[in-house]
Amino acid sequence: MKRLIALAFAATLAAGTAGAQTTLRIGLAEDPDVMDPTTARTFVGRIVFASVCDKLLDIDRDQKLVPQLATEWSWSDDQKSLTLKLRPNVKFHDGEPMDAAAVKYSLERHLNFPGSRRKGEISQIKAITVVDPLTVRLDLAVPFAPLIAQLTDRAGMIVSPKAAAAMGDKFGSAPVCAGPFKWVERVQQDRIVVERFADYWDGGNIHFDRIVYQPVVDATVRLASLQSGQLDLVERVAATDVDTVKRNSRLRLVQATELGYLGISFNIANGDKAKTPLGQDARVRRAIELAIDRDAINQVVFNGLFTPGNQWVSPQSPWYVKSVPVPRRDVTRAKALLKEAGVPNLSFTLNLPSGSENAQVAQVIQAMLQEAGIDMKLRTVEFATSLQMASKGDFEAYLIPWSGRVDPDGNIWTFSACEAAQNDARYCNPEMDKWLKEARSTNDRERRMAAYEQAAKVQAADLPRIYLYHRTWLYGLSGKLQGFQSPPDGLIRVQGLKLG
């Protein structure tokens, strides 16, 4: 069956790339959701955006800020005003100029567009001023330490005002930005095709005429397509396939520790499926955590390549709160907590995105929970669909990854603040909000760390989410592909890539 899938995939890919002079073929682990920077929320969508929509700033492999559409930036003395100098002579894919007016339009769109998932990321902006055609000033209601980091991702992506105004809520079907490649087509669950933009400001660093992004959910098929030469680059090689890639002299493995995590989110207050002991009693969620052995998951499923953790940042991060360590497995205590909560025979359903590694993780957890008398049923759903279900409250528990952000605020606020856009669980604790707002309001590292310590204690008590581990990004590359950098945010930057 897998051979048939691979052959069908090859035929589709060949049809999608016919006529291209130099084509880069990238295998994705999922199909992206809507391709509008304002409303999108998938990791694989961010991979595609990296070639289509330049941002105001970017980060390098060492997590340092680097210029992209903005070449300089500076804060006012009171930390409530950020001034950005823009790169001159930049054009959008429709030929319109990328200038301060376009930056103002895009940021205001992020703030005001119906269904925006960027609003919470930059909501402290109270005014945007065009100082001159290449200078824009962002005035804040309060100091907001994560703002610069937010501008290195989708909140910093600048869209063509002309195209966005014309297309409205259809903009995600054919985004028009100022990146190195412009949109050609999308076939859901099959391919996204982009072609080189002749007027790109850094055109000398682009070495392909076309890129085809191919969603291939099955990691085995994805790797087989790389081995056969049908793909040049695949993201998220299965940990169990690492040795296979290393043994193949025609391939290369590149890896990087992620900024994000994978965890189980619980429906706390989003509709009828929250009205269960699981959603209403933290003791039940604590019992689940105590029944799980994070180290065992890492060894059994990932050959020890990942990092077990219990917070929104890795234990290796300088932002990790050491006073709230990873708890040890304690099945006896888990059973006692369930008895205290009145549900000694707990049963619930875990939603999980399709994919072999997700299934393996869920099955290992399922077996662990059985030892504590917990019956966890599994419900596998296509990734973008699983996000839609979560947003609607159609879940009790949800195994969900987050690719991570360079500032820790980007890993916790959007899921745990009361009014955050991606808080699908509708978890809301004023004490958590207090500490997250405190951490956002200052650039003083000691103050931020103290606030995050308090937030970690609230998280550990409430457990709206069980953080399980932090992945190692594993990329398989054709040995001919040169210039690939190992990115901590997991994104594939196409600048500098070429086939040798």
Across-strand partners of 62? Answer: none
pLDDT at residue 19 greater than cutoff 80: no
Name the strand (E) or helix (H) holding 35.
Answer: none
Domains 2-53+179-257+473-499 and 57-163 in one fold: no
Q: What average pLDDT does this structure show over 230-237?
A: 97
pLDDT in tens, 42-61: 999 999 999 999 999 999 98
pLDDT of the residue at 91: 98
How would residue 472 be classed by pLDDT, with cut points 50, 70 and 90?
Answer: very high
Q: Are 61 and 487 in contact (CB under 8 A)?
A: yes
pLDDT in tens, 402-424: 999 999 999 999 999 998 989 99
pLDDT of the residue at 21: 67
Residue (of 70, 56, 168) closest to 122 by Cα position? 56
User: Residues with Cβ < 8 Å from 19, sequence gap 6 or more?
Assistant: none
CA geometry: angle 193, 203, 156, nearest 5 deg: 70
Cα-Cα-Cα-Cα torsion 51, 56, 59, 60, nearest 10 degrees, comes to 70
Q: 394-408 as b/e, with b when 16 or more CB fall inside 10 Å? A: bbbbbbbbbbbbbbb
DSSP string, 67-84: ESSEEEEEE-TTS-EEEE
Residue (of 410, 388, 409, 408) closest to 400 by Cα position? 388
CA geometry: angle 308, 309, 315, nearest 5 deg: 105
Residue (of 85, 82, 110) closest to 99 by Cα position? 85
Tokens read off for 170? 């259809």
- This prediction has a pTM of 0.88
Q: Are 156 and 178 in contact (CB under 8 A)?
A: no
Helix, strand, coil: what percent of the chain each, to 5? 35, 25, 40
Please classify residue 446 by burial: count the beta carbons closer than 10 Å to its beta carbon, then call 0-12 exposed, 13-18 middle and 19+ buried: exposed
Instruction: Enumerate the H helices of 37-145 as residue ranges.
Output: 43-52, 100-112, 119-122
Distance CA 477, CA 458 (A): 42
DSSP string, 225-245: HHHTTS-SEESS--GGGHHHH
SS3 at position 376: strand
pLDDT in tens, 259-289: 999 999 999 999 999 999 999 999 999 999 9
pLDDT in tens, 182-214: 999 999 999 999 999 999 999 999 999 999 999
Instruction: Enumerate the H helices of 303-382 as residue ranges.
Output: 331-340, 356-370
Q: What percent of the chain clears pLDDT 90, i.e. is strictly above it?
A: 92
Distance CA 325, CA 380 (A): 31
Residue (of 187, 146, 401, 369) closest to 278 by Cα position? 369
Q: What is the CATH number of domain 2-53+179-257+473-499?
A: 3.40.190.10
Count Cα atoms within 13 angstroms, Cβ side, for 163: 24
DSSP string, 401-417: EE---SSTHHHHHHHHS
Q: What average pLDDT does this structure show over 447-470?
A: 98
pLDDT of the residue at 500: 84
Query: Which residue's structure tokens are 């790169």?
Result: 87
SS3 at position 496: coil
Q: Are 409 and 440 in contact (CB under 8 A)?
A: yes
How would residue 99 be classed by pLDDT, with cut points 50, 70 and 90?
Answer: very high
Distance CA 275, CA 13 (A): 46
Tokens read off for 308? 């077990």
- Name the packing angle between helices 2-17 and 219-227 (round to 10°): 60
How is the chain split into domains, by residue range?
2-53+179-257+473-499, 57-163, 261-470
> 261-470 belongs to which CATH class?
alpha beta
pLDDT in tens, 292-337: 999 999 999 999 999 999 999 999 999 999 999 999 999 999 999 9
- Phi/psi region, residue 382 (left: phi>0; alpha: psi -120 to 50; beta: rest), is beta
CATH of the domain spanning 57-163, picked from 3.40.50.150, 3.40.50.10090, 3.40.50.2000, 3.90.76.10 = 3.90.76.10
Q: What average pLDDT does this structure show over 30-46?
A: 96
